[in-house]
Amino acid sequence: MTFYKEGDKSQAICEDCESVVHTTFQRRNVPFDDGVGEVENVLVAVCDICDRVVAVPAQSTPAIKAARELAVVSVETRLPASYLDRLDYAMNAISAAAATKHRKMFLSVYIDFLARQERAGKAVVCSWKQSDPNSHKGNVGHQVIVRAAPELREQSKRLSLKLNAYIADELLTLQTATKLSRTELFKNMICQMQDDVVNQPKKELVEELKLFARAAV
Ligand SMILES: [Zn+2]
């Protein structure tokens, strides 16, 4: 494998120039393939004619992979306030120390759990479509979860998550599979989480969440 340094010359095919062109190795910020985020200051081959990045040498792959893993994807949605109450309630059932700052961690684990179920061919995702959030009332311990107020009259709150690239990909997979908008997906997901953690706890999931909750700061 050839190692290059800045200023080295090579040749590559440039799609813009539609020909084999001379290139110069330079350090550039390069966007990821999916357009979400970029990797900074990585050695690439730049077309001498049009200045386009035309090739990435093998030696730059680890830096790109690492940056991709560390990339943070901001996910924002507005939900009726009662959904955030549901989420916090489920988190609290796992750990009394769970707080707002742990929402990202709990949802990340849950998104991963659902994506794994989806991959295993369990049709969890489809069941959400028919699920009516208002049907998730019932007795939970001594506390009664009351029927949700009509959403139009309910105050909405912002849910802002910084997900890692892996979880963001899984979220996208779930969104594609369910054909739901992001807001609807989160609403369904939170109701399902309430079922899986509080109403009819799934042992494997609860154990996982407890493990993460114990390690969380
Ligand atoms: Zn070019």
Span 157-170, pLDDT tens digits: 999 998 988 899 89
- Listing DSSP states for the chain in one string gives -----TT-EEEEEETTTTEEEEEEEEEEEEE-TTSSSEEEEEEEEEETTT--EEE--GGGHHHHHHHHHH-EEEEEEEEEHHHHHHHHHHHHHH-TT--GGGHHHHHHHHHHHHHHHHHTT-THHHHHHH--GGG--EEETTEEEPPPPPGGGSPEEEEEEEEEHHHHHHHHHHHHHHT--HHHHHHHHHHHHHIIIIIS--HHHHHHHHHHHHH--
Domain end residue (candidates: 23, 53, 70): 70
Quick one: 99 and 51 in the same domain?
no
Q: Is the pLDDT of residue 137 over 70?
A: no
- Lowest-confidence segment of 45-54, 137-146, 181-190 by average pLDDT: 137-146
C-alpha 107 to ligand 1 mean position (Å): 44
Q: Is residue 1 domain-resident?
A: no
Q: Is the pLDDT of residue 133 over 70?
A: no
C-alpha 5 to ligand 1 mean position (Å): 20
Domain end residue (candidates: 49, 70, 91): 70
Neighbours of ion ligand 1 (CB under 5 A): 14, 16-17, 47, 49-50, 52
C-alpha 173 to ligand 1 mean position (Å): 35
What residues make up the domain containing 13?
9-70
Q: Is residue 3 domain-resident?
A: no
Domain count, the chain: 2
C-alpha 70 to ligand 1 mean position (Å): 31
Q: Is the pLDDT of residue 139 over 60?
A: no
Quick one: 97 and 179 in the same domain?
yes
> Where is pLDDT greater, at 123 or 53?
53
The CATH number given to whatever domain includes residue 31 is: 3.10.20
Q: Is residue 38 domain-resident?
A: yes
Average pLDDT value for residue range 96-122: 89
Quick one: 66 and 77 in the same domain?
no
C-alpha 16 to ligand 1 mean position (Å): 5
